[in-house]
Copies of this chain bind each other. A is one copy, B any other.
Amino acid sequence: MRRALALAEAAAVAGEVPVGAVVVRDGEVIGEGGNAPRRLNDPTAHAEMLAIRAAAERIGGDRLQDCELWVTLEPCAMCAGAIALARISRLYYAAPDPKGGGVEHGARVFAQPTCHHRPEVYAGMGEADAAALLRSFFSAKR
């Protein structure tokens, strides 16, 4: 989660909402990303999506079995859907997102009968740091 938090900090410096994510397999980071929709002109370029795409490219397949995703904020519906499609085994996220989350809020993607793979989900590790980053980013914007 430390690496994900560092990626979130880097996103903030680049003017993007500070969220960072890494994909880990056997203790090794095989994909990472910081939130970058503006910089990349890509509305899908959330941290989780970039980390998943990088990891899948690295392993040369479209399934990330036996991989963990660590992310600083509760994934939105898009990212939760991608996590299920990628067959991520375990999801760790730091801060919950009542306004935009899709795991324990809103679409609750993994709880739907249309979801064909459910990762184990662990929330809260690093929550204080991740939430502080987001608060500081949005208060500076105001």
Name A residues whose Cβ lies closer than 8 Å to a Cβ of B: 37-38, 40-45, 49, 52-53, 56-57, 59-64, 76-82, 84-87, 98-102, 105-109, 112-116
A37 to B87, CA, bound (A): 13
The DSSP consensus for interface residues of chain A is loop
Chain B's nearest CB lies how many Å from the CB of A116?
A: 7
Known A44-B85, A85-B37; judge A106-B114 contact (CB<8 A): yes
Q: Is the CB–CB distance between A62 and B37 below 8 Å?
A: yes
With A62-B37, A85-B37, A107-B107 as contacts: A77 and B42 at CB distance below 8 Å: no
Q: Which of A45, A49, A60, A107 has most B Cβ within 10 Å?
A: A107
Contact residue among B38, B60, B64, B114 (Cβ-Cβ distance under 8 Å from A77): B114
How far apart sit A38 and B62, CA to CA, in the bound complex (Å)? 6
| A57 with B78, Cβ < 8 A, contacts A105-B114, A106-B113 known | no
Task: Please pick, from B43, B44, B57, B109, the residue contacting A107 in the complex, using a CB distance under 8 A.
Answer: B109
A44–B52 alpha-carbon span in the complex (Å): 8
Complex interface: chain B residues within 8 A of A63 (CB) = 43
Residues on B with C-beta less than 8 A from A114 are 76-77, 98-102, 105-107
A77:B41 contact, CB within 8 angstroms: no
- Once the chains bind, are B85 and A43 in contact (CB under 8 Å)? yes
